[in-house]
Amino acid sequence: MSKLQAVKGMNDLLPEEAARWQALERKLAAWFATYGYRNMRTPVLEQTALFQRGIGEATDIVEKEMFSFTDRLNGDELTMRPEFTAGLVRAAVEHNLLYNGPRRIFSLGPVFRHERPQRGRYRQFHQIDVEAMGFPGPDIDAELITMLDRLWRELGLSHMRLEINSLGNADERRAHREALIGYFEAHQSDLDEDARRRLHANPLRILDTKNPAMQDLADRAPKLSDHLGADSIAHFRELKAYLDNAGIAYTVNPRMVRGLDYYNLTVFEWITDQLGAQGTVCGGGRYDGMIELFGGKPAPAVGFAIGVERLLDLVKQGGLLESAEGCDVYVMHQDEMDGSGGAAPKQAAHLAFRVAEDLRDAGLEVVLHCGGGSFKSQMKKADASGAEFAVIVGADEVAAAQATVKKLRGDPLQERISIISLKQYLVDKLAMEQDT
């Protein structure tokens, strides 16, 4: 039979790698709590129309990156979420989440985009998504950026660079758009194919071009900042003042537009040069119009998304994430016949089984050896498990209602302990280990 394989661009996380993800998730849980953000979870599948309306038809995501399909059972047009914001806003509107005032929420999980797989770019990847709904800013904009700065510090990432920009309001963007179209039309012959296609659909995106031949043209294009009105300018100025106040360095990148239609006012990205071409680890911004666009009572909102794969790639290169340790205790038991043909092995296995459960009652992390084998091979497994202690139950131990405890790391220690006092003995020993 031929082997079955994972879908292209979608990764398996084996236990060693997954342990690092869990370590990150523990860190994140504390981080969210520090800032008072609460978890929310929405389905992976949504109506395709949600993303078309929310993200915008002329964006990369909706144009060419979505996993969309027709449900063959009922004809529904569905899409695997390519990002979190649209689904979270849909749910917030559907459940009237802002009824009692603004909300700080986060979500975590897989998102799907049909892109060409390469380092830092996958078809199923994961995002840490944070949204603050109902806040007009700029104080909350600064809070989101500040909390990211803290996360980078906690993860030991010292090379993260912050870029910010203001996209103004819809009228200001419209005026800028007219100016852009005029400018690019006057330079038709210098446009690449992508830019020509976007010229009338989404000229702002041309500014985002990665084509080296287009950089000059994009640099000299009319700036949105020249079209901002007093309110937008004030919002941006105050955001910068909050960041200065928090001691967070940034550069203003007037060409940063972000790849989604829904942004207004504040947009930002955290970038590193340690990941090659895929250097954007986190992107975010304000989307004051989306809640209303989805049929809710008008309310402002702002959020960001971190790419988990890119983040963990960085942490692996020298960050500070302690990965999960081994278990506390590995319980093994006699398996070979003792020659007498008696019931000792079975009794040892049963006693070991009960001992393991008993230790778990005390909250210890216990791995029970399963599948038999010689003591020697079991001891190898015990060592590899990362356990602090091995508990050994042989025929002698069964007869004496005892177990042998062997310390597997640090100073050697081996003792016979009665089954009755084993639990307390190990709890005390492990507590002493923790202290030192």
Check residue 83 for interaction with ligand ATP (CB under 6 A): yes
Packing angle between helix 419-435 and helix 344-361, nearest 10 degrees? 50
103 by Cβ neighbours in 10 Å (0-12 / 13-18 / 19+) ranks as buried
Q: Which is nearer to ligand ATP, 121 or 360 (CB)?
A: 121
Structure tokens at 254: 């007037």
Report in angstroms how near the CB of residue 58 gets to ligand ATP at its nearest: 14
Check residue 282 for interaction with ligand ATP (CB under 6 A): yes
Q: Which is nearer to ligand ATP, 282 or 395 (CB)?
A: 282
Q: Which is nearer to ligand ATP, 27 or 381 (CB)?
A: 27
Distance CA 307, CA 310 (A): 6
Within 10 Å of residue 416's Cβ, how many Cβ atoms?
A: 12
Check residue 285 for interaction with ligand ATP (CB under 6 A): no
Check residue 92 for interaction with ligand ATP (CB under 6 A): no
Structure tokens at 298: 């008008």
Distance CA 98, CA 92 (A): 7
Report in angstroms how near the CB of residue 275 gets to ligand ATP at its nearest: 9
Piece of the chain touching ligand ATP by CB under 6 A; list 116-124, 141-149, 244-252, 377-385: 116-124
Number of residues that bind ligand ATP (CB under 6 A): 18
Judged by CB under 6 A, the chain residues 292 through 321 that form the site for ligand ATP are: 305, 307, 309-310
- DSSP character for 121? B
* β-bridge partners, 111: 125
The CA angle 9-12-14, to the nearest 5 degrees, is 155
Parallel, antiparallel or unpaired: strands 329-333 and 389-393: parallel
Check residue 164 for interaction with ligand ATP (CB under 6 A): no
Question: Measured at CB, which residue is nearest to ligand ATP?
Answer: 307
Piece of the chain touching ligand ATP by CB under 6 A; list 25-33, 119-127, 215-223, 378-386: 119-127
Judged by CB under 6 A, the chain residues 252 through 271 that form the site for ligand ATP are: 259
- DSSP character for 234? H
Q: Which is nearer to ligand ATP, 115 or 396 (CB)?
A: 115
Report in angstroms how near the CB of residue 108 gets to ligand ATP at its nearest: 12
Residues 343, 345, 348, 349, Cα dihedral to 10°: -110
Distance CA 93, CA 89 (A): 6
Distance CA 370, CA 233 (A): 67
Check residue 114 for interaction with ligand ATP (CB under 6 A): no
Cβ density class 387-409: b for 16+ within 10 Å, e for less: bbbbbbbbbebbeeebbbbbbbe
Q: Which is nearer to ligand ATP, 272 or 402 (CB)?
A: 272
Report in angstroms how near the CB of residue 71 gets to ligand ATP at its nearest: 25
Polymer length in residues for the chain: 436
Judged by CB under 6 A, the chain residues 198 through 237 that form the site for ligand ATP are: none
Q: Which is nearer to ligand ATP, 46 or 397 (CB)?
A: 46
Report in angstroms how near the CB of residue 144 gets to ligand ATP at its nearest: 14
Distance CA 225, CA 59 (A): 22
Check residue 127 for interaction with ligand ATP (CB under 6 A): yes
Q: Which is nearer to ligand ATP, 227 or 258 (CB)?
A: 258
Distance of CA 117 to the CA centre of its chain: 18
Q: Which is nearer to ligand ATP, 51 or 122 (CB)?
A: 122
Enumerate residues 6+ apart whose C-beta is below 8 A from 261: 55, 56, 58, 59, 202
Q: Which is nearer to ligand ATP, 105 or 329 (CB)?
A: 105
Check residue 402 for interaction with ligand ATP (CB under 6 A): no
- Residue of the chain from 20, 81, 104, 113 that contacts ligand ATP (CB under 6 A): 113
- Residue of the chain from 48, 68, 146, 280 that contacts ligand ATP (CB under 6 A): 280
Enumerate residues 6+ apart whose C-beta is below 8 A from 269: 162, 163, 253, 256, 258, 280, 282, 283, 284
The CA angle 135-101-302, to the nearest 5 degrees, is 25
Check residue 109 for interaction with ligand ATP (CB under 6 A): no
Q: Which is nearer to ligand ATP, 286 or 310 (CB)?
A: 310
Contact 11, 112 (CB under 8 A): no
Piece of the chain touching ligand ATP by CB under 6 A; list 88-96, 274-282, 285-293, 413-421: 274-282
- Residue of the chain from 87, 134, 203, 283 that contacts ligand ATP (CB under 6 A): 283
Report in angstroms how near the CB of residue 319 gets to ligand ATP at its nearest: 15
Q: Phi and psi of 246, rounded to 5°?
A: -85, 0
Where do contacts with ligand ATP occur on this chain (CB under 6 A)?
Answer: 83, 113, 115, 120-122, 125, 127, 259, 278, 280-283, 305, 307, 309-310
